[in-house]
Structure 1
C-alpha cells in the first residue's frame, strides 16, 4: 500500500478522452489549450490523452463540399459572417501555435469539408494497436493536413500517407479500414458518446466521469485538473 506522503509526491494519473472531429478547428485550438493547462497544473497530474470519434457531418458525401457556403447554410449566416467567424478562429489558432491558413505553395485550393469516418477508423486503430501517443501524433497530422495543407481527408490514399508519415504500418492501416469489426468499434464509440450526452466538440471527459466543454483558456483547464485530482485522491468517507 502506498503511504500518503508518497502518494502526494506523485502526479495523479488522469486519462482524458477528447471527443473530437478532424473537421473541427476548435478541437485543434482546444487540445493545445488543454495541454498548456496540463503543464500549468504542474506535478499535480500525469495526463494521458485518447481521441474519441464524433462526426460533425456524418452524411457528408465523399466528394466533400466547400466550407464557407456549407457553414453559411448550416448555421443560417451570410458568407461575410462565416468569413468573420473563420478570421476569429484563425486568430485563436495563431495564438496557440496552430495557424490554419494555407501553408502550401501556389494559390490556395478551396477550403473544404470532408467525410471523416475513415479518419476515425484509423485513429481507433492507432489507439488499439500502438497507444495514445501514436494516436495523438496521427490526429495532429490529420488536423494539419486538413487545415494547413487542405488535403482530402476522406481520401484513402491521403489517410494512408499520413499514417506512413507518422511511422505506422501502411498495410496494417489499410487492412483496418476494411475491417468490419474496427468500423463497428467506431460506431459503438460514437453511440457511447451520444448516450453519455456528448453533443458538441471538443468535449474532454476526465477519468470517465468529469466533463469539460469547449476550447477553454489554459488556466481554466489547469484549475479543473487540479480540482479533479484532489477529488479523486480524497479518501471515501
Structure 2
C-alpha cells in the first residue's frame, strides 16, 4: 500500500505522518506538494496537521482551494482512504468532504497534551483494530478543535454511526457531544483532531495511534486480495 502525505505551506506534522507510515508500518509513502495535479498511484491519502497558509481567514479555508484538493476529492469519491488530522480535519470540513465546522476552543487557548479517547465505532477501515468502547490515549495540539454542527447533521452522524472517536472523561475544547473524530457516510474519509501519528511508538509516550494506521493497511490488503 502506498500513501501520499499532502504538504501545504504551513504544514508541520507532515514528517510525523511520514515517519508513522514508513518506519512503523513499513509502507511506501511520499510527500506530495499542494500544487500537485495528480494523486495517481497512491492508495491512501493523508492530510497532516499544522497551520496551512497561516490559518488566514480561518483554519483550512485557503488550503481547501489548493490544486491538490481536487485530486483528494477524486480519491475520496473513488473510495480510497483519506485521513485528515487536526488541520487536515479542518481542511476536509472546509472542502465539504465531512460535515460540520470548527470553532475556537472553548477556553480560547491553544491546548497541547495527551487526552483519552473512546472508540465509538470500530466498524470502519480506520478503527477495525480497536475494540468498541476501548479507551486510548492520543495527544492533541490545536487552538480551533471545537467541533460543531446543526441538529440535523448531528442526528445524521449518529444515525449513520459516523462518530468514530469521542473525548473520554475530559472534553478539552468544548466539542459538541465530545466528538473527536468522524467519517463521511461512505466511511472512507476520517477527520480527527487528536494526532495518532504522534502515538505510534512507546518512545513517544504511547503507541495507541498505531492501530489506526494498521487498520487502514489491513482493510486495504483484505480488499485488494478479495478483488485480485
TM-score (norm 1): 0.28
Higher helix content, 1 or 2: 1
TM-score (norm 2): 0.28
Higher strand content, 1 or 2: 2
Q: Whose radius of gyration is greater, 1 or 2?
A: 1
Between 1 and 2, higher relative CO (CA 8 Å, sep ≥ 6) is seen in 1
